[in-house]
Structure 1
């Protein structure tokens, strides 16, 4: 059973994931994302939210769910915050298209336990 705090953090992650999905829905390519500053900035902000909420997830929940690379999520948040203009757009696009759908599924499983 998740604590209230862990539920809130997972809901925050889910919220940010759903917003990234919404924002990138009209984007058809990496190049389009790169040239749409509003979407790019909104997506990056939601990655920061995901990383912040992930940092607050309890150690026990993180240990019980090793299928999620919590450390990598938090590290990406730190990188975006400190090196915003150094973000590799290909890494970002890969995260959006491949990693986020998996993360969303895992977060929903945790919330539904």
Structure 2
């Protein structure tokens, strides 16, 4: 259940990143915005292809 909650939180964060204004993402270029959005897409659309270890690595 904790893994499901972690995945859900990553989905929410990834969706929130999509809606950030360019001023925010541009001011913090050190953050991997495209990778965050991409990881969200994997979690949402590749239901059975999500590797639990990859999710754990993303959280660490």
Equivalent positions of 1:12-31 (< 5 A) are none
Determine whether 1:49 maps to 2:8. Answer: no
Q: Give structure 1 regions of 4+ aligned residues with deviation exceeding 2 angstroms.
A: none
Please state how far the C-alpha of 1:90 moved relative to its aligned partner: 2.0
TM-score, structure 1 as length reference: 0.50
Calculate the aligned-residue CA RMSD, in Å: 1.0
Which structure 2 segments of 5+ residues have no match? none
Between 1:65-74 and 1:87-96, the stretch displaced more is: 87-96
Q: Equivalent residue for 1:90? A: 53
Alignment partner, residue 21 of structure 2: 58
- What TM-score, normalized by structure 2, do the two folds share? 0.89
